Amino acid sequence: MAEYSGFDDWFEMPGGEDFVDVTDVLVAGARDMESEEVLLMDGFTLMDAMSAFEIGEPRLDSGMILEEQRRPPFDPLTPLLPEEVCWILDRSFACEMEWHTGKTLSQSVFTLLFVHHLPDINPEYLPPEEFEDPTRPRWLITVVIRAAILGLLKCCDLAWRELSKNRVHDVEDWQGEKCDVSLLEGVNAEVISRILDMACDWLRQSQFPETQVAALCDRLLLRKAILQLYRYNFLNDTAQARVEIAASLGLLHRVRGSQPEVSPGSPALLAMDPYIARRLPNFMPIRVTELPSQDKTWDMLQVFLEYWQEVVHLVTSPSLLTWEVAGALRFALRRSVPPPFHRSLVQSLFFDNNAVLGSHQLGWLVEHFYEETIGIPYTTILKAIERSTPQPEMASMRDVIERRIIKIMIPHVRSNWFNPPRRRRHLMKDVLQWHQLYDMLLKDIEHYQPPDERTAQILRAIPQAAQLRRLSTSREIILSGFQQELYAPEEKPIAYWYLTRILDVHIGCIEDLLPIIPTDTPTFCELLFQAEHLSALQMISTTLVALTAASITSPWHRISLNFLRRYKWVFKTEFDALVPVKPEPDLLAFPDSLKQFLLDELYSPSASLQLARDILSHLAESPHDWVGHWAPDRREYLRSLAEACNNLGRIAPASLRELAGFNLAPLKWIPDHRSSVIVLSNTTTTISFQFLGTLLNFANLSSSTGMKRKSSLVSRPSPYHTAVTLFEAGEGAVETVVRRSKRLKTGLTTETPVSEPVETEKHAVGEDLPLNTPVKSSKKITTTIKLEEAEESTTVAPATAAIAGPSKVRRTPPRWRETYDAIKRMRSRIVAPVDTMGCDQAQLKETDPKSQRFSTLVSLMLSSQTKDEVTDAAVAKLREAVGGSLSVDAILQADESAISEAICKVGFWRRKTQYIKQAAQKLHDEFDGDVPKTADELCSLPGVGPKMAFLALQVAWKINAGIGVDVHVHRITNRLGWHKPPTKTPEETRVVVMSPSLNLQSWLPVELHAEINHLLVGFGQTICLPVGPKCGECELGDGSCPSARKVVKASSSKKRTKVTSTRGTPSGRPKIEVELEEDTKLLVQVVPPNAPELEETPLDENAGVKAGDLS
């Protein structure tokens, strides 16, 4: 070739002009080589060679058989003892199970050499044997082994047919290459079933001992039973299917009890050849693998049979969400992903032939979608649409809804039986689909005109169904990233952070739905469960944000690039045209959000985990009727997750100040295919954290009672759980938490370098620290922590403390005491409605202590959204309506209509009627007819929230468990500037565990907790009114109150003024523009300290009045 100059222009030969043909050298070298010898050229080491083999071993396999791999030729008719036949039959099951794990047939089934010698052992083609050894009759091979091999191949054939339906994917999930070996495709399974029966007959008529006959027959019958299961139509007769599966499991149990042993020189061993793939035509290179041990084989077979059981349960549970839970629990419980055969079978059974479960029309999906997601029957939705729109539009809407939902739901449910990577990819597309549906529904309902509030509520709930699916799908994607170990260490805090945000919105979405779902429906119970479950997960993920934050070491611009890449599924351009929904990952928000969170002095990682543990443990014991067969699995999952929280909570820091001393290094993730496990290497503590893997599919079905805890990461408090009080009480609570966690026994010793004086030492424990006082950090802190339970001390290496601060300093609003005393003085001079008609008055009309407490509770329940005067009158009327005494029994005996009539003047009287009835029933059934003594128990009553619970405890039991914060307390404390930044809800005002805002329970002395509600409510009813506070009469109007309004005289009546404010609008555009036409002589102006003057635009020359934030 080198001589052909025509190539010179095209190719540059190796060595260029010096190219030499070395073929002869190689031939000569080969002549000098010994068999199995390796020659290495200069610079090419043995390690290089091993790497080459490791990387491409099957392709580099020359086919050469080493000495130790040489085997005598296999003679299929070599006589065998019954126990040797037993052993071969057992290995046939091992081959089959190995194939179902995703190996090729040539790595598994075809390694059993009898598969390739069926014609050689067919008795019809064999002459009679002249000298037969009675202990090793040939018919053991020609009848027994042959029947078993036929059964094995037919089982493989039937499985192959299901697997090749494209529900699961060849090469990805299973291996379909047959290497030109027959799987008896043309043979009827019934014929093989009869052959297996005949083999059993032969055995029973033989002279072998009974135990040997039984052992062989059991194996043949087990093969026959499995063959029958492959043939079974699970939609036809599920009862019979259960019987068949139970019989198979029974046979398996018997087979396991008779394990044969073969000697090392047994000819039976020759029946297995792991290198058979070298002699078969393979599509792709095949690595030689080992079959599982027999014990493991039986375990695998048992699981395989149990998955058939699960299929039966699935097809007899016509519920979309149950299917999803069942699919997801496989991951959450660290069980193996179902074999591809069962994953394919489930998909076929559900959706073959355009029908659900072989009999339901596709519209069935739509009905279940709404009923199970938002608890509203589809017929009710259609009626609501009908009432709100002309008929033609309704038909159009219905058609669009149904087609879109069916289109999304079928693959969505199916994806639970995809392999994990494929499922993740599918969910990434699903998010967009759910969002598009949400967007479409949102826009559609805008055109309707509901005739009443109930109809409007139903219409508003329609898009929420899609929103819930979108949120749960997003959550799944994030968690699947953990399961599949996709996140680099620096990505984990971001993943947890984003998860926290999604859970936040999800819980809020559920809370919005709960009020419109009838409380006695399974959906209501399930959504409550979901709320609690998601809240616990939110606590865990929030804690993990803190614990993993230190792993971020790269510059933000670099991390953000990874972020964009990892979350490309939320940055698709298609989203731009849709209604924006939260949470969209806001890249720029993450650094600030994290920084703010890490400065939260009240947040305790260990307490957060302990609280999550308590919630999960509680959930594990609560009823789980919805998920039926999977209820024990769900409990197991919850307990397992609770235990993980407990274990991690024991070693997590008690506060963020200690974070610097927390060493993440000993914790490492151990991939386990299905889950992740944290092992603390220097102790025996093992924390299984399968939640990081998957758990959350299953949260679809269930989810959330929330916590009222909010952090800078959590924007929404939940009214369904008060357990947050564990965290809330500021300094005291933190101390309590520390004790709970058993984290610190003798203390935490903090050493600081001499050169770095610690500012915190200037503050005594419990000392008030003005809000504005900067919390100075020490540069380095060495923390010694004694683990009380482990009875050992661990000295954590010095670490840079980025967030260290004073350990026990209470921050308070400046000069709060003077303000408080001033209000007290004012209150002493006035009588407010709450003084004569508050909830504490209701008990005065009762004599029985239980009735006194109950009447207090009823008064509180009626008081929400209602003036004290109206509430007081309603309580009196209700007492009269139920016979003169407001007791639990009296309410239970009263008609709902009588109660409704009595309280019809209060807000939401219909719902309150139901709540009072239900609460009375619950008190009667669970609390001996009395008001319970804890906030948690009180909040378990319908219609009772934290505020009512704390007030009820204070008035009825004289128990001071927390501050009852209502709208008056919320408004006034914000006006006084006691919360920075201002709080948005009463519950946030009371306490939010992770909020950067000061909240009342964090600093107000405990002895004032009981009185502050009464004090401020009366103040708010008489002076600091919601609209038009009487600052002129208020002692604080002299400048002590930042919201004080100045009294300004108007020059004349009837003025027309245009008032414009530009405050608070970054763009500078006018925020408020109000035209006033007043007869009054006085107008007011809000002049907060340091606030810029408002821009004023008079409409006429007489308008000299300034106005402020009139909004």
- Residue ranges binding ligand SF4 (CB under 6 A): 975, 1023-1024, 1029-1031, 1034, 1036-1037, 1041, 1043-1044
CB 354 within 8 A of CB 727: no
CB of 1024 to ligand SF4, least distance (A): 3
DSSP letter assigned to residue 704: B
CB of 962 to ligand SF4, least distance (A): 24
Which backbone phi and psi does 1075 adopt, to 5 degrees? -105, 130
End-to-end CA distance of the chain: 91
C-alpha gyration radius of the chain: 37
C-alpha to C-alpha distance for 40 and 175, rounded to whole angstroms: 36
CA neighbor of 516 nearest in space, from 595, 591, 452, 588 = 452
CB of 984 to ligand SF4, least distance (A): 18
Specify the amino acid at residue 93: F
C-alpha to C-alpha distance for 968 and 1017, rounded to whole angstroms: 5
CA distances from 740 to 295, 726, 733, 793, 961 (A): 44, 10, 10, 19, 18
DSSP letter assigned to residue 546: H
β-strand partners of 667: 680
CA neighbor of 84 nearest in space, from 268, 213, 344 = 268
| Of residues 478 and 998, the one with the C-beta less far from ligand SF4 | 998
Residue 249: which residues within 8 A CB-CB, separation 6 or more? 302, 305, 306
Total residues found in the chain within this entry: 1111
CB 92 within 8 A of CB 152: yes
CB of 1034 to ligand SF4, least distance (A): 3
- The token duo for 768 is 């008030």
B/e letters for 701-738, b = 16+ CB within 10 Å, e = fewer, are bbbbbbbbbbbbbbbbbbbbbbbbbbbbbbbebbebbb
- The token duo for 1024 is 């600091």
C-alpha to C-alpha distance for 918 and 916, rounded to whole angstroms: 5
Question: What percent helix, strand, coil does the chain show, rounded to 5?
Answer: 55, 5, 35
CB of 1086 to ligand SF4, least distance (A): 9
CA neighbor of 736 nearest in space, from 630, 645, 611 = 611
Ordered alpha helix ranges (H), 829-884: 833-837, 849-863, 868-881
B/e letters for 490-526, b = 16+ CB within 10 Å, e = fewer, are bbbbbbbbbbbbbbbbbbbbbbebbebbebeeebbbb
Pairing of strands 676-680, 686-688: antiparallel
Ordered alpha helix ranges (H), 549-699: 556-566, 589-598, 605-621, 631-651
| Of residues 964 and 1020, the one with the C-beta less far from ligand SF4 | 1020
CB atoms within 10 A of CB 47: 8
| Of residues 332 and 1023, the one with the C-beta less far from ligand SF4 | 1023
CB 916 within 8 A of CB 820: no
777: helix, strand or coil: coil
CB of 1004 to ligand SF4, least distance (A): 17
CB of 1002 to ligand SF4, least distance (A): 21
H/E stretch holding 466: helix 453-483
Which backbone phi and psi does 901 adopt, to 5 degrees? -65, -40
∠ at Cα 476 (471, 481), nearest 5°? 135
Residue 947 a catalytic site member: yes
DSSP letter assigned to residue 1040: T
CA distances from 786 to 653, 683, 734, 783 (A): 12, 13, 18, 10
CB of 1029 to ligand SF4, least distance (A): 4
CB of 674 to ligand SF4, least distance (A): 59
Q: Residues 708, 710, 947, 1106: which is the catalytic one?
A: 947
CB of 986 to ligand SF4, least distance (A): 17
CB of 1040 to ligand SF4, least distance (A): 7
* Residue 596 Ramachandran class (φ > 0 left, ψ -120 to 50 alpha, else beta): alpha
| Of residues 743 and 975, the one with the C-beta less far from ligand SF4 | 975
CA neighbor of 797 nearest in space, from 685, 605, 666 = 666
Known catalytic residues are 947
